[in-house]
């Protein structure tokens, strides 16, 4: 067997949280290895379209953002984590800009949208491919650094060692002082088992969480999985696609078979999803041409200018399938999207196991039992940076 690779910090996962953690750890003076199950580009973060929340509006504040998170979680989130999330949101945006992310601007400032569950306009966007822009910039930063990357090297085993941890990742054995788990959730596997559609990348299957549990890590809200209210239901090429929630921020509304509004289209995700389920169950839904349940999302109410600036990708995808969403309503139905709960962490991303950190979707508490849109990419950035820095300091301490 080849000699083990030795580093200060091992990061598991190449989505936004893992990349942010790796960059942060390296900039804190640590030697870093990052492993991924598949290609470095393969992750859920890159598929995130809607945007990222931060309080920049004159009528907004981190405290108001925190209150919206608390209310959207139905008062189940960890208040301490929420205050970190919203308090560091503006600096996280500036950090991403320093790495090359160019957020859409309007009249000299950020183009802000109000998303579901929010009381203010605070969603920043890079068109409707925000996650792609963020992960690309982070990956470019990683590739220009001294961080060692190991694609196609899934974490298979992790055990404590005299100097920290020994990990078996694909064909590699890596010894690290500390480990940051940023391997995402499990919604792809859950959807397969339920016979449902999912927005998730096929790699979202949850093995790393099981490894953490075997080491004694605690979880919270692990049963709370989130449906994206607006999954694509037709045409077939769009099934499982997460229609950006910014469609509703820019005027689209949900309609039943009688073309009547039946819910607040800018309500929290779980409330909107449940309203759609209930409307279909009551017989007021519609059927797609292949017999799937759905309701209408009336995207014809979106102004051409808003679509061109903030939703350029979505209409293009639909038009490729023969449907113009600015000319006719589209079929939508909730799809399995996000693991709200996960590993218990403290303010610096450390789990209940000493020297083992977690950030991003694999961690729980920040969103409680229901997440607002735009807070996932924010959580990845804020807690990725925190976990990476803390892991570096502990490994080198």
The closest alpha carbon to 286, from 327, 244, 328, 320, belongs to: 328
- In angstroms, the CA 152 to CA 136 distance is 18
3-state secondary structure of 149: strand
> How far is the C-alpha of 8 from the C-alpha of 201, rounded, in Å?
29
Which of these is catalytic: 139, 186, 220, 269?
Answer: 269
User: Strand, coil or helix: what is 296?
Assistant: strand
Alpha-carbon span 53 to 373, nearest angstrom? 8
Given CA atoms 350, 353, 355, 361 in this order, what sign does their dihedral have?
negative
Sole residue written with tokens 């073309």: 259
Long-range contact pairs involving 138-144 (C-beta distance under 8 Å, separation at least 24):
138/16, 138/19, 138/20, 138/23, 138/99, 139/14, 139/19, 139/40, 139/41, 140/99, 140/100, 141/19, 141/23, 141/99, 141/100, 142/19, 142/22, 142/23, 142/34, 142/40
Q: Which two tokens stand for residue 324?
A: 């113009």
Strands 109-110 and 105-106 come out as: antiparallel
* CA angle 269–255–286, rounded 5-degree value: 100
Q: Measure Cα distances from 334 to 11, 26, 245, 277, 331 in Å.
A: 32, 39, 12, 8, 11
**HSE-up of residue 338 (Cα within 13 Å, Cβ side):** 29
Q: How many whole angstroms separate alpha carbon 22 and alpha carbon 376?
A: 18
Q: Is 269 a catalytic residue?
A: yes
The answer to whether 206 touches 358, Cβ cutoff 8 Å, is: no
Q: Give the helix ranges, DSSP H, for 169-219.
A: 187-194, 207-214
Specify burial of residue 218 (Cβ count, 10 A radius: 0-12, 13-18, 19+). Answer: middle
In whole angstroms, what is the distance from residue 234 CA to residue 219 CA? Answer: 36
* Catalytic residue ranges: 269
């Amino acid at each position: 067997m080849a000699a083990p690779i030795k580093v200060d910090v091992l990061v598991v996962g190449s989505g936004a949280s893992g990349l942010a953690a790796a960059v942060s750890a390296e900039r804190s003076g640590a030697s870093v290895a990052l492993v991924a199950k598949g290609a470095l580009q393969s992750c859920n973060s890159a598929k995130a379209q809607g945007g990222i929340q931060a309080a920049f509006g004159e009528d907004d504040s981190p405290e108001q953002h925190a209150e919206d998170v608390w209310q959207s979680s139905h008062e189940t989130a960890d208040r301490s984590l929420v205050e970190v999330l919203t308090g560091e949101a503006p600096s996280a945006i500036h950090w991403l800009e320093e790495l090359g992310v160019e957020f859409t601007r309007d009249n000299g400032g950020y183009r802000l949208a109000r998303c579901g569950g929010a009381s203010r306009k605070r969603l920043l966007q890079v068109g409707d491919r925000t996650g792609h822009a963020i992960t690309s910039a982070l990956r470019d930063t990683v590739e220009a650094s001294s961080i060692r990357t190991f694609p196609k090297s899934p974490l298979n085993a992790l055990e404590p060692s005299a100097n920290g941890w020994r990990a078996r990742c694909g064909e590699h054995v890596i010894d690290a002082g500390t480990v940051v788990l940023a391997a995402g959730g499990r919604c792809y596997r859950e959807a397969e088992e339920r016979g449902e559609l999912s927005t998730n990348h096929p790699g979202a299957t949850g093995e790393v969480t099981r490894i953490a549990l075997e080491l004694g890590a605690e979880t919270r809200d692990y049963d709370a999985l989130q449906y994206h209210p607006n999954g694509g239901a037709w045409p077939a090429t769009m099934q499982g696609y997460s229609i950006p929630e910014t469609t509703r921020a820019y005027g689209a509304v949900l309609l039943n078979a009688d073309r009547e509004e039946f819910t607040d289209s800018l309500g929290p995700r779980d409330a909107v999803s449940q309203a759609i389920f209930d409307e279909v169950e009551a017989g007021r839904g519609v059927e797609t041409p292949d017999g799937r349940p759905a309701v209408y999302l009336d995207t014809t109410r979106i102004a051409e200018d808003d679509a061109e600036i903030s939703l350029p990708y979505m209409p293009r995808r639909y038009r490729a399938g023969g449907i113009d969403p600015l000319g006719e309503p589209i079929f939508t139905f909730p799809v399995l999207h996000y693991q709200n709960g996960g590993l218990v962490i403290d303010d610096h991303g450390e789990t209940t196991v000493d020297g083992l950190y977690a950030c991003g979707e694999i961690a729980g508490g920040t969103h409680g039992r229901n997440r607002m849109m735009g807070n996932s990419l924010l959580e990845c950035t804020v807690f990725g940076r925190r976990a990476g820095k803390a892991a570096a300091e502990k490994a080198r301490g």
